[in-house]
Amino acid sequence: MNRALSKSMHGEHGFAPGHALPPPDHRRRSDLPFTFMEILIAGMILTLAIAMTLGILGGARGRLLKAEQRWGRSHHLSNMTEFYLLTGPKGDLPASLLPEGFSARCDLVKAEDLPEHAAEGVPGWDDWQLGQFHVAVTAPSGNTIGKWVVEKLVREDDCD
């Protein structure tokens, strides 16, 4: 049959005029909706992607909380160290400087095991020596959250 004749008899889509869709057995694969297997695989891929995203977010949240705790401990310790360097080991600790239940301790001792040239006094600085501030912050549970040792020139009579 001639192509032009076939087109005029069956319309330009290849089926009889007046019909909206070709009969089901004549439809091409590209005209069919997705198969159940394709929908199932797409759903599994989407579920896996959502699960992986939630896992990444959960891990990031945990790391963020740990980093915040480390920062908090370091912040308390540096605040206490600055306080004791400014006021000395016998300074009165303000209640607002640490959260409730936390405590801090500072001991000032003479630095030892200095090299020979450092053990000798410096002219004009006879009443000064190198002291070590041992600062520790304790949590309400009794655990020490951090310790620092800072060396500073202090008067001889300030050291134990």
pLDDT at 76: 93
Q: Looking at per-residue confidence, does 32 or 10 come out higher?
A: 32
> Beta 128-138 vs 144-155: how paired, if at all?
antiparallel
Q: What is the spatial distance between Cα 144 and Cα 137, in angstroms, rounded to a whole number?
A: 6
Torsion-angle region of 113 (φ positive above 0: left; ψ -120 to 50: alpha; else: beta)? left
pLDDT at 158: 78
Any domain includes 25: no
What residues make up the domain containing 58? 36-118+125-158
Q: How many domains does the chain divide into?
A: 1
Any domain includes 77: yes
Any domain includes 21: no
Q: Are 125 and 119 in contact (CB under 8 A)?
A: no
Cα torsion 6, 8, 9, 12: sign: positive
Any domain includes 143: yes
- Percent of the chain whose pLDDT exceeds 70: 76
Any domain includes 130: yes
pLDDT tens digit sequence for 88-143: 888 888 888 899 999 999 999 988 887 777 666 677 777 888 899 999 999 999 99
pLDDT at 29: 59
pLDDT at 157: 79
Any domain includes 10: no
Any domain includes 23: no
pLDDT at 16: 58
Q: What is the mean pLDDT of residues 55-73?
A: 95
Any domain includes 42: yes
